[in-house]
Amino acid sequence: MSTLHPVSPEFAARARVDKAAYERDYAESVRDPEGFWRRIGQRLDWTRPYTKVKDVSFDVDDFRIRWYEDGQLNLAANCLDRHLAARGDKTAIVWEGDDPNESRRISYRELHAEVCKAANLLTNLGVKKGDRVAIYLPMIPEAAVAMLACARIGAVHTVVFGGFSPDSLAGRIADSQCKLVITADEGLRGGKKVALKINVDEALQRPGTNSVETVLVVKRTGGAVAMQAPRDRWWSALMDGQKAEHEPVAVGAEDPLFILYTSGSTGKPKGVLHSTGGYLVYASYTHECVFDLREDDVYWCTADVGWVTGHSYLLYGPLANGATTLMFEGVPNYPDSSRFWQVVDKHQVTLFYTAPTAIRALMREGEAPVKKASRASLRLLGSVGEPINPEAWEWYWRVVGDGRCPIVDTWWQTETGGILITPLPGAIDQKPGSATLPFFGVKPAIVDAAGAILDGATEGNLVITDSWPGQMRTVYGDHQRFIDTYFKTYPGMYFTGDGARRDADGYYWITGRVDDVINVSGHRLGTAEVESALVAHPKVAEAAVVGCPHDIKGQGIYAYVTLKAGETPSEELRKELVAWVRKEIGPIASPDFLQWASGLPKTRSGKIMRRILRKIAENAPDQLGDTSTLADPGVVQNLVDERLAR
User: Please, what is the minimum distance in Å from the beta carbon of residue 308 to ligand WTA?
Assistant: 5
**Which long-range contacts link 613-622 to residues 24+ away (Cβ below 8 Å)?**
613/544, 613/546, 613/558, 613/560, 613/639, 614/546, 614/547, 614/548, 616/640, 616/643, 617/546, 617/547, 617/548, 617/558, 617/593, 617/643, 618/548, 618/549, 619/643
> Do 421 and 6 form a contact (C-beta atoms < 8 A)?
no
Q: Which residue's CB is nearer to ligand WTA, number 154 or number 425? A: 425
CA distance 621 to 615: 6
51: left (phi over 0), alpha (psi -120 to 50) or beta: alpha
Q: Which residue's CB is nearer to ligand WTA, number 138 or number 497? A: 497
User: Please, what is the minimum distance in Å from the beta carbon of residue 101 to ligand WTA?
Assistant: 32
> Do 48 and 70 form a contact (C-beta atoms < 8 A)?
yes
Q: Which residue's CB is nearer to ligand WTA, number 539 or number 614? A: 614
Q: Which residue's CB is nearer to ligand WTA, number 171 or number 497? A: 497
Residues of this chain that interact with ligand WTA (CB under 6 A) are 262, 307-309, 383-387, 409-414, 435, 496-498, 510, 512-513, 519, 524
User: Please, what is the minimum distance in Å from the beta carbon of residue 134 to ligand WTA?
Assistant: 19
User: Please, what is the minimum distance in Å from the beta carbon of residue 435 to ligand WTA?
Assistant: 5
606 marked as part of a ligand binding site: no
109 marked as part of a ligand binding site: no
> Do 342 and 373 form a contact (C-beta atoms < 8 A)?
yes
> Do 257 and 276 form a contact (C-beta atoms < 8 A)?
yes
User: Please, what is the minimum distance in Å from the beta carbon of residue 543 to ligand WTA?
Assistant: 23
Q: Which residue's CB is nearer to ligand WTA, number 141 or number 264? A: 264
Q: Which residue's CB is nearer to ligand WTA, number 71 or number 432? A: 432
Residue 629: how many CB atoms within 10 A of its CB?
13
Q: Which residue's CB is nearer to ligand WTA, number 172 or number 524? A: 524
User: Please, what is the minimum distance in Å from the beta carbon of residue 554 to ligand WTA?
Assistant: 9
619 marked as part of a ligand binding site: no
CA distance 110 to 89: 8
535 marked as part of a ligand binding site: yes
User: Please, what is the minimum distance in Å from the beta carbon of residue 386 to ligand WTA?
Assistant: 5
Please report, to the nearest 10 degrees, the dihedral formed by the alpha carbons of residues 70, 72, 75, 77 taken in order.
Answer: -160
The helix-helix angle for 610-617 and 634-644 (nearest 10°) equals 20
190 marked as part of a ligand binding site: yes
User: Please, what is the minimum distance in Å from the beta carbon of residue 313 to ligand WTA?
Assistant: 9
> Do 160 and 136 form a contact (C-beta atoms < 8 A)?
yes
158 marked as part of a ligand binding site: no
192 marked as part of a ligand binding site: yes
H or E stretch including 470?
A: none
31 marked as part of a ligand binding site: no
SS3 519: strand
The helix-helix angle for 19-31 and 33-40 (nearest 10°) equals 120
583 marked as part of a ligand binding site: no
Peptide bond into 335 cis (omega under 30): yes
Q: Which residue's CB is nearer to ligand WTA, number 2 or number 103? A: 2
Q: Which residue's CB is nearer to ligand WTA, number 141 or number 425? A: 425
37 marked as part of a ligand binding site: no
596 marked as part of a ligand binding site: no
412 marked as part of a ligand binding site: yes
User: Please, what is the minimum distance in Å from the beta carbon of residue 2 to ligand WTA?
Assistant: 14
CA distance 431 to 445: 19
410 marked as part of a ligand binding site: yes
User: Please, what is the minimum distance in Å from the beta carbon of residue 66 to ligand WTA?
Assistant: 23
SS3 562: strand
Tell me whether residue 16 is exposed, middle or buried, using C-beta atoms within 10 angstroms of its C-beta: 0 to 12, 13 to 18, 19 or more. middle
CA distance 108 to 114: 10
524 marked as part of a ligand binding site: yes
Compute the half-sphere exposure of residue 211: CA atoms within 13 Å on the CB side of its CA.
Answer: 19
Q: Which residue's CB is nearer to ligand WTA, number 55 or number 478? A: 478
Q: Which residue's CB is nearer to ligand WTA, number 41 or number 385? A: 385
Peptide bond into 230 cis (omega under 30): yes
**DSSP E strand stretches across 160-269:** 180-184, 187-189, 192-194, 214-218, 232-234, 251-252, 256-262
409 marked as part of a ligand binding site: yes
CA distance 387 to 554: 8
List beta partners, residue 596: 561
> Do 22 and 428 form a contact (C-beta atoms < 8 A)?
yes
> Do 289 and 440 form a contact (C-beta atoms < 8 A)?
yes
Q: Which residue's CB is nearer to ligand WTA, number 451 or number 512? A: 512
Q: Which residue is at the shortest CB distance from ligand WTA? A: 414
User: Please, what is the minimum distance in Å from the beta carbon of residue 509 to ligand WTA?
Assistant: 9
User: Please, what is the minimum distance in Å from the beta carbon of residue 414 to ligand WTA?
Assistant: 3
Q: Which residue's CB is nearer to ligand WTA, number 83 or number 513? A: 513
User: Please, what is the minimum distance in Å from the beta carbon of residue 272 to ligand WTA?
Assistant: 8
H or E stretch including 87?
A: helix 84-87
386 marked as part of a ligand binding site: yes
CA distance 562 to 582: 19
267 marked as part of a ligand binding site: no
Residues in binding site = 189-192, 309, 333, 385-387, 409-414, 498, 513, 521, 524, 535, 537, 540, 582
Annotated binding site for ATP: 385-387, 409-414, 498, 513, 524
Q: Output the known binding site for CoA.
A: 189-192, 309, 333, 521, 582
The binding site for Mg(2+) consists of 535, 537, 540
